[in-house]
Amino acid sequence: MRMLTRFARYLVPSVLVVGLMSLGAPSAAQEVGAPDAPDAHEGRGSVVAPSPWLTVSTPIRRGVDFKLSTFYIGEFQVPVVQIDVPVRATKFLTITPSYLYNWVPASGLNKMTPQPLGATDSYEENQFRIDGTVTFPIQKFEISVRNMYVRRFREGAANDIGRYRGRIGIAHPLAVAGRTWKPFASFESFYERKGGWNRDRIWSGVTIPVTKQLMFQPSYMWERSQGNRDVNYVLLGLIVNTK
């Protein structure tokens, strides 16, 4: 797994260049906002975190949507709220300013790190983000490329910090029982000035239409992050589009 993530980090810049030169449409894949915690020494193994989530999307005007998402990271008892405003800048480029809030109880902090912290206080973080996503087709495959800048506002002794997130993804529509399912997979890597490349995510799942306005998205995400335990997210999501 570590060899795969190292290779993918070298691949990301090349794919970003290709993506900016190509045409396509915005991806429908959702994003899970996972919590952050202080660094610690290596110790306990990985953890499984069942995580239900819900996204409600409504158009504001042509080419501009409003999305409200709520997540619950079950194993760590972490609620997450995220607001996105995707703006269709061109046929192939979507720019999305967004805001994310998460709160981690003391019990979640103690479970998250490789060694129990003995934490008695909770932790909260506000994030303001902006990203540009380009999606382009290769035959029936949909390739998506996203660059995101995040400003993390952290409470207590932790300093506010900037973060870069680069993600490449692939999806392919499949006809199943008269409906179009869309399996997808992606790799994402995080970079911060002090920590370097300190977090990786590999994510795979499928988007299943239930009705014209409702989609169901079961997925699995593996996350490795510096100073934290590896997390296996079991994700069950609902996407509601009021359009």
Report whether pLDDT(226) > 90: no
Give whole-number Cα distances, 110 to 72, 113, 119, 187, in Å: 17, 6, 6, 27
Under the banding of pLDDT at 50, 70 and 90, the label for residue 107 is confident
The percentage of the chain sitting over the pLDDT mark of 90, rounded to a whole number, equals 61
Predicted confidence band of residue 100 (pLDDT cuts 50, 70, 90): very high
With 0-12 / 13-18 / 19 or more C-beta atoms within 10 angstroms meaning exposed / middle / buried, residue 35 is: buried
- Name the nearest CA neighbour of 128 among 160, 87, 103, 158: 160
| Residue that wins the pLDDT comparison between 72 and 195 | 72
pLDDT tops 80 at residue 136: yes
How far apart CA 87 and CA 160 sit, in angstroms, is 27
- Comparing CA positions, the residue from 134, 137, 140, 170 lying closest to residue 26 is 134
Assess whether pLDDT exceeds 80 at residue 56: yes
| Residue 106 near residue 82 (C-beta atoms within 8 A) | no
pLDDT-wise least confident of 72-81, 95-104, 105-114: 105-114
pLDDT class of 31 with cuts at 50, 70, 90: low
User: What mean pLDDT value characterizes the chain?
Assistant: 83
pLDDT > 70 fraction of the chain, expressed in percent and rounded: 81
Per-residue pLDDT at 175 exceeds 80:
yes
Residue 183 lies in domain: 2-241
Mean pLDDT of 213-230: 93
pLDDT tops 80 at residue 53? yes
Number of domains comprising the chain: 1
**In which residue are the tokens 């070298």 written?**
10
Read off the CATH number of the domain in which 137 is found. 2.40.160
* Secondary structure (H, E, C), 120-166: CCCEEEEEEEEEEEEEEEECCEEEEEEEEEEEEEECCCCCCEEEEEE
- What pLDDT sits at residue 35? 55
Cβ neighbours, 10 Å, residue 105: 16
Angstrom distances, CA of residue 184 to CA of 45, 46, 50, 95, 220: 27, 24, 19, 21, 11
